[in-house]
Every structure is written in structure tokens, then in C-alpha cells.
Amino acid sequence: AQSVTQLGSHVSVSEGALVLLRCNYSSSVPPYLFWYVQYPNQGLQLLLKYTTGATLVKGINGFEAEFKKSETSFHLTKPSAHMSDAAEYFCAVSPSGYNKLIFGAGTRLAVHP
């Protein structure tokens, strides 16, 4: 069965520091991959997605993610954290042949001054 693992349920960084949120998936066939962000008391907002083609994907708010097939990873990065980036981040896969999204457990990002 497909699964998504997000390493680290909580990540804390200083403002201006690099943000790295890790995501690994299990799939024999590369799925479509997504990162969503959830701000407090809000729904999920799409940050970026990988379908096919270029493995480095740029998203909104300065985030990007790199699809590495050999490592079955899709880590999310941002060069410089802002206070407004504090939120919960979810990695998700859409398996080939399916319509549903399978989500990881989420990583809560805290940004401190």
C-alpha cells in the first residue's frame, strides 16, 4: 500500500534560516506528489506539485521541492524562513491510477525571531 512519511512532527527554525521539511513516499510507480500548507483554523492550500518532467518544482511563497526517484523523496525547502511561514505542512501523494490523496502525518513549522 502507498504511504507517506514525514520525518519530524515539529521543526523549529530561526527567522532567515533555511527551512527543510522531509517527505518520503513508498510506491513502485512514481506518483504525483504535492505539498499543502495549513494555517491555524484554515483549510489546506496547495504549495506546489510534481507530476512529470523537471524534478525541481517551484511553488508559492518561495518554497520549492525536489523529486528524487532513487531516494523516493520529495523534500520541501525555503532558503529563508519568515514568521508568516509558521504553519503545518503536509506532503501528499496521488498514486497512479487513483484519485485520492494520501497524506503524511504533517510537520508543524515554528519560526522564532
Segment contacting other proteins (CB under 8 A): 19-27, 61-69, 78-86, 93-101?
93-101
Segment contacting other proteins (CB under 8 A): 15-23, 57-65, 72-80, 104-112?
104-112
30 counts as binding other proteins under rule CB under 8 A = no
Segment contacting other proteins (CB under 8 A): 13-21, 62-70, 73-81, 101-109?
101-109
Considering only residues 36-75, where is the footprint of other proteins by CB under 8 A? 36, 42-46, 49, 51
**How many positions of this chain bind other proteins (CB under 8 A)?**
22
Spatial distance between the Cα atoms of 32 and 42, rounded to a whole number of angstroms: 24
